[in-house]
Amino acid sequence: MRMFFCCIIWLVYLCYVSVFIYHLSNHPFQKAYRAVADHVRTLAFAIADGVVPSNGGRGYVLRRILRRASRYGLQILKTEPLFLTKVVPSVIDTFGETYPELTQNREKIIEIIQEEELAFSTMLDRGIAYFSDLTEDIQSQQKGDVTNTAVPGDKAFFLYDTLGFPIDLTEQMALEAGLTVDIPGFESKMEAQKQRSRDARNASKGLGEGGRLELIAEQTAWLANNNVGVTEDDFKFEWDLELGTEVRAIFTQDGFVSPDGGVVEEGATVGLVLGKTSFFAEAGGQLPDTGTISIVSDNGDSTMGTFRVLDVQSYGGFCLHVGTMEEGDNINLTVGSKVKCQVDYTRRRDIAPNHSMTHILSRALRQTLGDGVAQRGSLVSDEKLRFDFSHKKAVSAKQLRIIEESCQRSVAEGEGIITEVLPLEEAIEKEGVISLEGEIYPDPVRVVSIGEDYSSVEFCGGTHVGNTKDAEAFVIVEETAVAKGIRRITAVTKDLALEAIREGDQFEVKVAELEGMGLEETDDLDKRTGSVRKDLDASNISAILKSNLRGRLELVQNAVFSAKKRALAGRVDRCLNVVKEQIESASAEEKKVLIVTVDIGADSKAAQKVMKVAQKGAPDMAFMGISEEEVGSGGKLMAFALVPAAMNEGVDFKADEWIRSTLEVCGGRGGGKAGSAQGQAPECSNVDEVVSAATSYANAKIGVII
């Protein structure tokens, strides 16, 4: 029996220990520890493999992982900020021998994680505070309603859009608080934001609201099932071609137009799927071609109507030409209509050199900043080229000059551009070839090589010129940050570049003229320098030249400031002597109040000096000084006053009331104490009225004419 009871006791004890271990292992602390350990390992290995936290693709997955780990540590484990950065070395030391890439990229891994932690830490504090207040509001509003436990979709979207909280992080925080998240509401807000972005894009292309037409899987499947073949688009690389083809499908906001006699209403925005096309569909950062599609007779001899092409997109090989029928064209556009593609090659001749020069720019960046530079996005239009690249800090003025000169040299000397289509496996082995990280390329792939030494070899499906000379000129107009570790260069070619150079030359002449002016007329020089600086900031000239000219203008402005400061110091000294004389004269006449106009501009420090002189020279006299910023200009006016304590108590004469009463006549305001006060008026056309108002107030208080 005794043995039986001992066994029972041991069983109870084991059950207790098991329950304790179970609860311990599921404690939020344990979960947080495991999550942080797992996440920091993932971060270290992924960054060592070349993935960088970003706003898209696998980079965004990594950023979400880092932010989840950061939140676990700071909110649940109560760690110090940047704790992940301190944990990373342990991961590298533990796994570095087996995975040497961790050790090789040690500094890079630590630096990237530190930057991301630092960027998120401020948002995290705000986000946690916001979520805590939100949780309290939800719980206080429940009042027994167990169904009211969801974080509203608009609040979740605010956390995502404004505070940088991925939706899965918000869901995790809600789960810990015993809440859920209104995911449909969140997705609705997200879709509304995307729609605003689409509408803005449509407006820029002249499509108007609702003009965006897209083929999703359902539509491409419909096309395939109805024996509509993919568009033959090899002609997009040819020039000055008028391509005959036929309409194979017409897509509208309501779906596809019936092939059996369905027609398009005049003025409607529709998308045409053609058998062949010479239009370039948007790809690789290059904007699509625009132009016209002419509806022709069956024999092709006469034009019956014109379809204006505003946008071209490719969906699974089907090129959708979106646009509208020209006004006045009453021709029936139907499936099977014979058409001719007429690309706006004039516009393309402005786009192509911009695309070719992005390759030259990419080469110059690698040569100047190192092979660590990698493309992170681009935009090629008829107006400019924009190139995003990985780099940890701003490109210096010296480096930017080297990059621009390298590109300009390529244009001046002329480098041949060769395009060829190769099997993907062969293209990858091509010496010096550059492919975008994470990009999926077709097989075969198009390869663009530039220069006799093929110093620039890239996979590219865009349109190019035959020689860099066709760019005519090249100017970098801006270098700026896009995101953490991502920089952006914007540049122009052809006419816009030549105009930028001409405008830059004009600014150099203007700045040289300002530098040559004497400092006798500082006000005029100051105004002219400020005007040129304003125009310079708004200009589209070389970023390198703009930076240089800003520096030169700053030297001119500093010289003007110093000259003004010296002139003011002289004016103040003369003014102090005049005030001393007037105080001595007023004291001799036993005046109780002295009101003087002084020439010290709107310098409050000079006003303090004047008041000290007045207080020292006549401590028992009420004093007011009035000064215009520019004498006789009718502009800004300053007033300051001192009233002895005896007058405050004896006749209720207060400096602050005196200032307010005086400045009221010109719309000014002021304040201070009974003993001293000051104020300003934005403009004053009659200083005598102000002096008269000050005199009237003093007379009313003192009871004598002063």
pLDDT, residue 624, reads 93
Helix, coil or strand: residue 388:
strand
Which secondary-structure segment (H or E) carries 588?
Answer: helix 543-588
pLDDT, residue 146, reads 54
pLDDT, residue 366, reads 93
For residue 499, what are the CA distances in angstroms to 124, 341, 458, 507, 532? 47, 33, 30, 12, 18
pLDDT tens, residue by residue, 258-296:
877 666 777 778 999 999 999 999 998 999 999 999 998
Mean pLDDT by 10 residues, the chain (706 residues): 55 48 51 83 87 78 84 77 84 88 87 81 76 81 64 86 80 82 87 75 60 85 93 94 94 86 74 96 94 86 86 94 78 86 96 96 94 88 94 90 96 94 87 74 88 87 95 95 85 96 95 86 83 92 94 91 81 85 86 88 85 88 89 84 84 89 90 91 89 90 62
Q: Which of 594, 605, 578 lies closest to 641, judged by CA?
A: 594
Q: Model's pTM, two decimal places?
A: 0.70
Which secondary-structure segment (H or E) carries 123?
Answer: helix 106-142
For residue 115, what are the CA distances in angstroms to 37, 80, 168, 488? 19, 15, 22, 19
pLDDT, residue 81, reads 75
Return the structure tokens found at 622.
């009420």
pLDDT, residue 21, reads 42
pLDDT tens, residue by residue, 690-706:
999 999 998 888 765 44
Rounded CA-CA distance 252/268 in Å is: 8
Q: Look up residue 391 and give its amino acid.
A: H
**Residue for token digits 């062949």?**
276
DSSP string, 366-377: HHHH-TT--EEE
Inter-residue contact 271 to 254 (CB < 8 Å): no
